Structure 1
């Protein structure tokens, strides 16, 4: 147990609860993206197939259509860089935690893919998921996907929530502290199990011009910036 974190959280709990409730009340709640959750750049059979799964980033919160989102932006950039035919598919649920995502993946039909990217951690941060459980659920996810997707799952870093200006202090600092703890789990798990996971870091999206109107989720330009930061780090296939 991370004693300093929990002592701080308990000491600030009444204020944190107040700030959390107020933030939910005053922050615009944006819908998930609409439109097709899949697409392709180039004609013919795809040379590369990308699948993004996870929480609000995969669900396209902050944009109107999925073709403005991360999976589509990555596919577009890879197509432009390589000339390959690149298909994309995204599956995300706003507000979901890793435990529930694992349950969903047992029931949701997913397409064939060469690269699978996982974007998770914000809701497990705000929900105070235990670090040990978070790691166990990562391993559960890998076991669920292993037969269909044998290549390592690409773990996207947990956003640095201490830089989310839509959150007031000290809630912002406490959430940032917890987010860094879960991000450390991603890094450590990828380091210890390189055959199963690869960790991908990207710069924080904090520029107001890259954020949606809730000041929390990326805008279309924000997703494009994330894709540009990640595309060079993706494994060559």
Structure 2
């Protein structure tokens, strides 16, 4: 248990509860992206197959079509850098937490992939998932995927939520504090088990023009910026 965080949260709880309810009421809830959830950039058989799983970013919230979303734009970035055909597939559920994703994946048919990228953490941050449980769920996810996807699971850094302009202070600072704690779980797993996990980070989207209309999720240019940063790190 991280005592300073929980004590601060308890002391500020009346303000945080009020701000949380007000933020949920005033922030527009954007839909998941439409269109095909898979595709490829380049012709012929793919040189590399990319799979993105997770929460709203994997679901394409913030753009109208998955072609504009993270998986497609990352595949495009890899295609442009390597000159090879890259296929992509995305599976995401808006609002899902990691434990729920694990249960969901048990009944979902996913395609073969060479690189699997996990985009999670925001809902576990706002839902105050304990770090020990988050870590345990990550290990369970890796175990469940390992036989079909033997390469290390790529962990996309938890967004720096203390920079989210849609959140008021002090809610923004408290949520950002929690996001950094969960992000450290990612970093620790990647450091201690590099054969199972790879940690991938990207620059914070501080330019509001990169965000969708809710001021919370990336827009098309935001997904492109994330993809360009990640394309340099994909093994």
Correspondence for 1:186:
186
Shift of 1:206: 2.1
Correspondence for 2:8:
8
- Given the alignment of the two structures, is residue 218 of structure 1 paired with residue 235 of structure 2, yes or no? no
Correspondence for 1:42:
42
Q: Please list the CA deviations of residues 200-228 of structure 1 after superposition, one character each: whole Å capped at 9, or x if unmatched.
A: 11111121110000000000000000001
CA distance in 2 between partners of 1:126 and 1:176 (Å): 9
Shift of 1:78: 1.2
SS, match of residue 216 in structure 1 = coil
Correspondence for 1:204:
204
CA distance in 1 between partners of 2:30 and 2:172 (Å): 20
Q: Please list the CA deviations of residues 68-89 of structure 1 after superposition, one character each: whole Å capped at 9, or x if unmatched.
A: 0111001111111211111000
CA distance in 1 between partners of 2:164 and 2:48 (Å): 34
Correspondence for 1:91:
91
SS, match of residue 175 in structure 1 = helix
Shift of 1:45: 1.1
Correspondence for 1:163:
163
- Given the alignment of the two structures, is residue 72 of structure 1 paired with residue 69 of structure 2, yes or no? no
Q: Please list the CA deviations of residues 47-81 of structure 1 after superposition, one character each: whole Å capped at 9, or x if unmatched.
A: 11000000011000000000001110011111112
Where does the alignment leave 5 or more consecutive residues of structure 2 unmatched?
none
Correspondence for 2:144:
144
SS, match of residue 150 in structure 1 = coil
CA distance in 2 between partners of 1:110 and 1:50 (Å): 11
Give the number of equivalent residue pairs: 235
SS, match of residue 116 in structure 1 = strand
SS, match of residue 168 in structure 2 = coil
CA RMSD, Structure 1 to Structure 2 (Å): 0.5
Correspondence for 1:51:
51
Shift of 1:44: 1.2
Shift of 1:169: 0.3
Correspondence for 1:115:
115
CA distance in 2 between partners of 1:49 and 1:174 (Å): 38
CA distance in 2 between partners of 1:192 and 1:2 (Å): 21
CA distance in 2 between partners of 1:77 and 1:66 (Å): 15
CA distance in 2 between partners of 1:228 and 1:40 (Å): 17
* TM-score, normalization by structure 2: 0.99
Correspondence for 1:174:
174
